[in-house]
Structure 1
Amino acid sequence: MLLRILPLILILLSGAAALANPCQEPAVVITGISLSGNETTKEQVMLRELTFAPGDTILAENLEPLLEENQRRLFNLRLFHHVNYTYTCSEGQVQVAYQVQERFYLYPIPIFDFADRNFNAWLEKKDWSRIDYGLNLIRRNFRGRNEEVRVRVQRGFNKRLELGYRIPYVWRKYNIGADFSVADYRSRTISYANLNNRQRFFEQESGMPIRRSSVSAALVHRQNVQRQAGLRLSYFNEHISDSVAFLNPEYYREAQQERQYTRLELYRVINRRNDFAYPTAGSYFEAIVAQTMFLQNSGSPFTTARAKYVQYVPLSDKYSYMVGAEGQLRLAGKHAFADNVALGFRSYVRGYELYVVGGQHYGLFKQGLTRQLVDIKSINLKFIHNPKFNSVPLAFYLNAFTDAGYVVDDVFEQGNPLTNRLLLGSGLGLHAVTFYDIVLRLEYTLNREGDTGLYFSARFPF
């Protein structure tokens, strides 16, 4: 029995190993850093994330906080299941050791998804023909250098083919990385207009009413895992059928059926959350400015600016509070319906999942109080022998929230009463978090219109 629990005891005590041999000197020198468990990951990938190096002098009272901070930095690379550390201190000299448990890096994820914006939008129709299927293949930590290769082959109602490659460093001296992607999208249906803030769909019996292809390349300045900035250049070619152009001549405006355009995008991300999958402390900031230019007189150029800031405040061991805001400005001489996207897709007020609120500008506010119900560090699956899969963490959180949003639409607001109106939603949710950053949410909501509903989602709320 003792032999079985001894490894567990050693792991639990590893983070506090220094207590057995505390540093007596007021300042210490880091004389060495060792890494173990990284069978695939190159050492330089891990060492680049650390904020200290051999030869650094550190106040003894700051040593533990420094090692814990860097433990989180390594964990937030999302390359490891667990990151632990130990250190020894002798005559003012410190040897640090980080131990990691690597994840499985090849993700052959079957695609079986709903063709609508979210599960509840599909559930309203209950049309089993509106199903997408295929394979999403992701190879993370490619070559052990934290590179990523992405291949998506999707059939069914919406057809997609996507290829992508991300490399964190192409110019190491300046921490410059790159991201490349190419995509092709075709669908049997298209949302050609909104009425009463509901999408109006046109489905073509033969052929595809919409086709979209794109090529994108980006340079990314990666200061560290928490701070990044990038410059992305993309090219798009889009085509709709003559039936769609007839139903809504404003869909592409001047282009009528086909348009080509380039988009230059500058973005900045500062991610200081304690956990990238389900944060309970820290902050998150992102800002994006994009200029879209149309080719061959196929549209009017427009500028988009979007920003988001969220603060996560730990109140106790079990409770945390989240508050954040997001906003968008879109400036153009003329607006096409295809670009009139605000709330209802990537961002929305909870309680309005079944609605689409189009517009040029929007503001969104969210807050929530979270209580941790269960936090199981590891469920051992004895029938699985691979250590990358046989240990499953599981946590449950109870979340009470309120959301507010406002959309400004001066072009397509007619017949859509939720535009230019304050949207309010609140509710109670149960959130589950498990391995490989999977977050599942089940939320009961009430909105300003008096609608109630039970909604399911598979991503973090904000």
Structure 2
Amino acid sequence: MNTTLFHEAIVSLKRFEGYFVDISVEVKERWYLFPLPYFKPVDRNINQWLIEQKGQLSRVDYGLKVIYNNATGRNDKMNIWLVNGYTKRVSLGYDRLYFDRRMKWGMRIGINMGSNREVNYLTSEDKQLFFKDESQFVRSFMNFNTELTYRRAIKTRHRFGIAWNSERVLDTVARLNPNYLPDGQTRLRFVDLYYAMSYFDVDFIPYPLKGYHADVFLLKRGLNGAINLWEATGKVGGNWPIARRTWLGLRAAGTVKLPFNQPYLNRRLLGYGDFFMQGYEYFVIDGVAGGYLKGTITKQLLGFHIKVPPVKNLAIHPIPVKVYAKIYSNMGYVYNNDPRNSMFNNKMLYSGGVGIDIVTFYDFVMRFEWSFNQIGQNALYLHRKSYY
């Protein structure tokens, strides 16, 4: 299941006789070629877009994405993204171009370029501040990257990468925040060198209930002195059954950025991507070091399939659906050597809550969470995660 090639995999014992065992493996394959419409709010999470930005369609990226999985039968992946709206972007990527028959050594290449009429130029009181100019693009970016991948065993993957990046902003952005790029610059070109390791020994990667996983990421940004960043990030998690259809999950993550004096571009920490604490979805907590610990108890409530009416000459499998209830708590800390007016930097942070998770086909997970934080705020937060 963790290869993302199949909807379902059923392993059963057919016959056991002396020293001989017959094992049956039944799988249901996924579709591999997806020309799909693309529609995604650009804000950090659904709540920020719906509540703080009032669901403005001007803050949505839309377009076309073509995803071709298992293109050559070696579980490789090709992606083409043509995006309009808030961001004008073109992305091309090809992953798992293997060099050897045992598929241990491979390669990934990617190109990403685009521009925006709005940019997040500063953080104040743990909120993002934006500058927008409808008459022209205020930010342009370009990225070329290539990776060498190594997978000695099925559970562990190593990536060694190099990327060339270009960032350009209007003079107005540099005036509003002279530290957005180093030394008030409006254009910066730099190289990233990085290493990443991922380890998964879990039952189902998109929504693990049993097993362990870990990630390590090391980055050196800048080789010519224009920018200088050393970054180390680690994530680890474990999941254990504690009762019938009930599981305990623990997750920890931490990062450090050296030296501590960094431009705004490199200071983003808690609240971006999957590095966040529940209950703080409306905030971003910038810094140069920090992390969190999360604990969750999950119980499966329902598990069923939705039958889909047959279509001529097209095999459509029933849609699997699982529903889970959970309770959770978070604690974290973010160090900032220049906290300014932040109310969350350099202190312990706490939160907790209850929620419902829905897991269905193509690794789609929808989370409905009612969270409480330490300043007395509570609200319903929505999170969506899909590997497509």
TM-score of the two chains, using structure 2 as the length reference: 0.94
1:451 aligned to 371, 377, 382, which one? Answer: 377
How do 1:58-457 residues align onto structure 2 when only pairs under 5 Å count?
A: 75-85=1-11, 86-123=13-50, 124-126=52-54, 127-167=56-96, 169-172=98-101, 175-254=104-183, 256-295=185-224, 297-299=225-227, 301-332=228-259, 334-346=261-273, 347-376=275-304, 378-384=305-311, 389-411=316-338, 413-457=339-383
Q: How far apart, in 1, do the equivalents of 2:202 and 2:314 lie?
A: 27
> Once the two structures are superposed, what CA deviation does each residue of 1:249-299 show, in whole Å capped at 9, x if it has no partner?
01112361011111111111110111112111101111111111144x432
Q: How far apart, in 1, do the equivalents of 2:191 and 2:5 lie?
A: 34
> Does the CA-based 8 Å contact 1:217-1:232 persist in structure 2?
yes
Q: How far apart, in 2, do the equivalents of 1:318 and 1:90 lie?
A: 33
> Does the CA-based 8 Å contact 1:106-1:138 persist in structure 2?
yes
Deviation at 1:186, TM superposition (A): 1.3
> Once the two structures are superposed, what CA deviation does each residue of 1:108-146 show, in whole Å capped at 9, x if it has no partner?
232111121111111212123212111121100112221
Q: How far apart, in 2, do the equivalents of 1:112 and 1:153 lie?
A: 11
Identity fraction in percent: 27
SS in 2 for 1:223: strand
Q: 1:180 to 1:235 in 2, by over 3 A?
A: same
Q: 1:390 to 1:451 in 2, by over 3 A?
A: same
> Does the CA-based 8 Å contact 2:65-2:82 persist in structure 1?
yes
Runs of 5+ consecutive residues of structure 2 not aligned to the other structure? none
Q: How far apart, in 1, do the equivalents of 2:202 and 2:352 lie?
A: 24
> Once the two structures are superposed, what CA deviation does each residue of 1:216-249 show, in whole Å capped at 9, x if it has no partner?
1111111244211111111101101100001110
SS in 2 for 1:142: coil
Q: 1:308 to 1:162 in 2, by over 3 A?
A: same
- Write the letter of the residue equivalent to 1:190: V
The structure whose residues are more often helix, as a share, is: 1
SS in 1 for 2:58: coil
Q: 1:388 to 1:166 in 2, by over 3 A?
A: farther
SS in 2 for 1:315: strand
Deviation at 1:91, TM superposition (A): 4.8
Larger radius of gyration: 1
Runs of 5+ consecutive residues of structure 1 not aligned to the other structure? 1-74
> Once the two structures are superposed, what CA deviation does each residue of 1:50-77 show, in whole Å capped at 9, x if it has no partner?
xxxxxxxxxxxxxxxxxxxxxxxxx211
Q: Which residue of 2 aligns with 1:5?
A: none
Q: How far apart, in 2, do the equivalents of 1:380 and 1:128 lie?
A: 34
- Write the letter of the residue equivalent to 1:274: D
Q: How far apart, in 2, do the equivalents of 1:125 and 1:227 lie?
A: 40
The structure whose residues are more often strand, as a share, is: 2
Deviation at 1:79, TM superposition (A): 0.3
- Write the letter of the residue equivalent to 1:143: T
- Write the letter of the residue equivalent to 1:355: F
Q: How far apart, in 1, do the equivalents of 2:60 and 2:42 lie?
A: 5
SS in 1 for 2:243: coil
Q: How far apart, in 2, do the equivalents of 1:304 and 1:167 lie?
A: 26
> Does the CA-based 8 Å contact 2:222-2:229 persist in structure 1?
yes
Q: 1:129 to 1:447 in 2, by over 3 A?
A: same
TM-score of the two chains, using structure 1 as the length reference: 0.79
> Does the CA-based 8 Å contact 1:260-1:294 persist in structure 2?
no
